[in-house]
Amino acid sequence: MKNLIYNCFLFLIVFIFAYINSLHTVESFTPKIKEMYRPYVRNARIIGEGFYNKSTSDISNLFRKFGIM
């Protein structure tokens, strides 16, 4: 009988923690408009940084070939 009570108590604790961990929390401080455009801004920033890094390295290589740098 004692083991049955311990097992039920353990099962209850595991169930409560599983339920708490499965809750989907949304950031309440992020407005809906910002939530909609944030991925596009992030992707544009990543593409822009990649273009900037590639173009600066290409220009640096060109300057080195001509002996300017």
pLDDT above 70: residue 68: yes
Q: Is the pLDDT of residue 27 over 60?
A: no
DSSP state of 1: -
pLDDT tier, 51 (very low <50, low <70, confident <90, very high otherwise): confident
What average pLDDT does the chain have?
Answer: 79
How far is the C-alpha of 57 from the C-alpha of 50, rounded, in Å? 11
Number of domains in the chain: 1
Which residue range forms the structural domain that includes residue 44? 2-66
pTM to 2 decimal places: 0.39
Whether 24 shows a pLDDT value over 60: the answer reads: yes
Average of per-residue pLDDT across 30-46: 77
